[in-house]
Amino acid sequence: MNGEIRRVGVVLKRSNTEAVELGRQLLVELARLGLEAVVDRESSPVIDAPDGPERGELASLVDLVIVLGGDGTLLSVTRGRLEGTPILGINLGTLGFLTEHPAESLFPMIHATLEGRVAIEIRERFQVTIMTPGQEVKHRFVLNDAVINKSALARIVHLSVHVDDRFVSRFRADGLIVATPTGSTAYNLSAGGPILYPTLENLVITPICPHTLTNRPIVLPLDSVVDIRLESLSEEVYLTLDGQEGFPLSPKDLVRVRRCDDPAHLITAERRSFFKILHRKLKWGERGG
C-alpha cells in the first residue's frame, strides 16, 4: 500500500452486538497503535465515540476504512467519494462476499495492512444519474447494481434501453438489472445473469422475469453508457441502488448508468482465490448429493 496510515475510519452494523463489542476493542487497539479513529455519525453513539462525518463522506476523510458488519454495511460506505481509500471488510453478517474476512482476523489484518502485506483489489463502481424534467439532476454511486423493478401488484413494465445512444431493445419484464462485475453475484445471479470475474472491465444487463424468453442477459464493455426509460404508465416502478436507496420512476425520467471514475479499493488476503469464495459462499460448481 502507498502512503502512511494515520486516520482510520470505523463503521459498524449498529444492530449487531458482536460488531458493537468488536468496535470498542478496535478503538482501544487503534489508540494503542497511535492511530486516530474516526467513527461515522451513525455508528458513534453505540460505542460512545465522538460524532464523526456522515457514512458516505467518511472514506474521503481518512487513510483506511474498517467495516464491521455484512455486505450491506460495506455498500453503505461506498455511496460517496472514496478517493482511493482502502476498505477492510470484516464479516459479521451472513454471506460476506465483500466483507470477506472473519472477525478473528481483524487485528492480524490491521497489522498486515500497516506493514503492507495485503493485496488491494480494484472494484469498479457506477455513477447513476436520474434526470426528471423540471427537477434537479441526481447523481449517485453504486458498487453492485442499479435495479428498476415493479411493486408486487404492478403489471409488467416496458423499458427501452439505449447503449452509447444506440437502441438495444425494449424489455417487457418485471424489471431490469444493470450490474457491475462485483454485483454480478448479487441480484443479477438470482435473476439468471452470469457471474463475472470481479476485476473484469464489463457490465451486465439482465432482465427480471422477461415476458419474451429471447430477452437474455447481455455483457457489455464497462465504458458503455446505458440509458433506460420507462415506457409503461405504471406508477409503481422504482429505481433501487445497491438495494439501499430507492426512487419512484415515471415515463418522463431518464436513468443513465455509466462507469464511475472513483472505484472502490478492497483489501484482500494475499493469494486469496475468487473461486474458493464461490465454492465456500455459493457451493458453486459442486455436485448434488
pLDDT at 272: 67
Whole-angstrom distance, CA of residue 98 vs CA of residue 88: 9
Of 63, 71, 174, 227, which is the active-site residue?
Answer: 71
Contact indicator for 98, 90 with CB cutoff of 8 Å: no
Q: Specify the CATH class of 126-259 in words.
A: mainly beta
Q: Which CATH class is domain 7-124+263-282?
A: alpha beta
The fraction of the chain above a pLDDT of 90, given in percent, is 80
- Average pLDDT of span 159-183: 96
Burial class (CB in 10 A: 0-12, 13-18, 19+), 120: middle
Task: Cell numbers for 163, please give them.
Answer: 447503449
Residue 98's pLDDT is 84
Domain residue ranges of the chain, discontinuous segments joined by +: 7-124+263-282, 126-259
Confidence category of residue 9, pLDDT binned at 50, 70, 90: very high
DSSP H helical ranges for the chain: 17-32, 55-58, 71-77, 106-114, 187-190, 274-282
Which is nearest to 109 in space by CA: 222, 1, 258?
A: 1
SS3 148: strand
Instruction: Determine whether 40 is an active site residue.
Output: no
- Residue 2's CB: how many other CB atoms inside 10 A? 7
Query: What pLDDT, on a 0 to 100 scale, did the predictor assign at position 49?
Result: 93
- Whether 271 shows a pLDDT value over 70: the answer reads no
| The predicted structure's pLDDT at residue 150 | 86
| Nearest CA among 283, 255, 65 for reference residue 145 | 255
State yes or no: pLDDT of 95 exceeds 80: no
Mean residue pLDDT of the chain comes to 91
DSSP 166-210: EEEEEEEESEEEEE-TGGGGTHHHHTTPPP--TT-SEEEEEEES-
